[in-house]
Structure 1
Amino acid sequence: MNIHEYQAKELFEKFGVATPAGKVAATAEEAGAAAREIGGTGLVVKAQVHAGGRGKGTFKNGFKGGVHVINTAEEAQDIAGKMLGQTLVTHQTGPEGKLVSKVLIAKSVDIVKELYFAILFDRSKSAHSIIASTEGGMNIEEVAEKTPEKITKVPVHPTMGLQPYQCRKIAAALGLKGPLINQAVKLFSSLWNLYSKSDCSLVEVNPLAVTTDGQVVALDAKFNFDDNALYRQKEVTAMRDTSEEDPREVAASDFGLNYIGLDGNIA
């Protein structure tokens, strides 16, 4: 099961993961109100769909970009009005695109450095692992292929969990120094707490940003959850958006079945 970016922010806030302030909106008016509530200039409006490449995507109504930086509540309302109820096409959605029913209004930050941090279950080793890289904002598979030396992997003990010394090791590998190390250790520990207590199979923060005012914050995240553990994760289950899923998979799940659609035309 996947969740939207605004829902990921809600989990970040619940578990104490540093992230810029944000509000979700389902109408243009709500978007304007959210921008006023967050306050200041330098805000970003993000279309909420289960797909990457939103910034370079195009709506079927001709409007370009599912991510826009704005400075006023009026701009937020205007941009949201052009996104909501429209279909966004990205390199991950396919030509059919995805309908945008919500937008996220978030505080924009000035970034000094973009990093990558993920916690996942490594099936090849039957263990939880941390993957971190100095090359944030990029496809981690490309980094692994072209510059594998820029990736740090740390195994996590199944019962002891992620330890402070491991967090410091990761922070150092990412080139963080001074007060940034302590911030990173706290953030990594909070992410592990979120991952383990929410029955995640993946928490990917890309980018993990260092800001001009000396903060380490999680900007964007991707979550996957263990479907077999959702029965004990009522809050997470309530976040499910079936409109973003293959209708065949949704129908199968109603009967406790797993269904994976394949391409082809075999009758």
Structure 2
Amino acid sequence: MANISTLDAGASPLHYYGFELRRYREAAGLTQRQLGEIINYTGSLIGQIETARKVPTLEFSQRVDAALGTGGALTRLVQLVLRSQLPAWFQEVAELEARATQMDTFHTHLIHGLLQTPAYARAVLGVLDQGNLDDRTAARLARQRIFEKGEPPQFWAVISEAALHQEVGSPQVMRDQLAHLLSFEGNRLINVQVLPYSAGAHAGSQGSFDLFHFVSDPPIVYTEGYSSGHPTANPDTVRDCSLRYDHLQAAALSVKKSAEVIRQVMEDRYGEQVA
């Protein structure tokens, strides 16, 4: 367990954040309790973050930056902290998401992490493992900030109709998740298509995959197994998956028709009347 006297700022992004938070606070002449009173958090929580025992949130970082006049330093740093909380094998994928100019995704049974609501993400991550669930959920949701960049990526999601019916968490969680998908209607950057049951055998039958496109680097295909990820820039694999994605989009419903199906599932399966 880290403490103030032994905290190594170079040990991890979390340690560096704690070191910087303490430095900014002391430069302002505030105790942990005093800073907590200003930003409406407990002094104990500030102490835990300063000693790398607790992962900071985006909201916490924004409040501290405003209170201490850091110029947004901690808000920028918290993105690295949250990314470091992702599983080691997935951190490379988060970096690909942050760099990509376009992403083409196909998922067979779950909503893509970049489109998940907090409750849905928490339910998915909590299966078989409740440890550090708040921190792991925050780390997953932090990835979605790529859509807030000055030049956000173009995002295409083809989702199997099965993912709409697979009840994750509870009916309320699913209602909120499907409503979240509908919130992207009219968004020219985030497009959701449903691959209907009626498509039958399809080009994605071998499993989910993501395609990342970049300004100057070659495309990368990402597939996932249990506790492991497999990114590759192999031209043959990229060519094969690109062709598969073209066929998946052709077999999927249009963006407009997909929204109608999502609304129908909300009403029929989860009891939500949608205007």
TM-score relative to the length of structure 2: 0.24
For the pair shown, the structure with the greater C-alpha radius of gyration is 2
Compare the two structures and name the one with the higher strand fraction: 1
TM-score relative to the length of structure 1: 0.24
Report 1 or 2 for greater relative contact order, CA contacts < 8 Å, sequence distance ≥ 6: 1
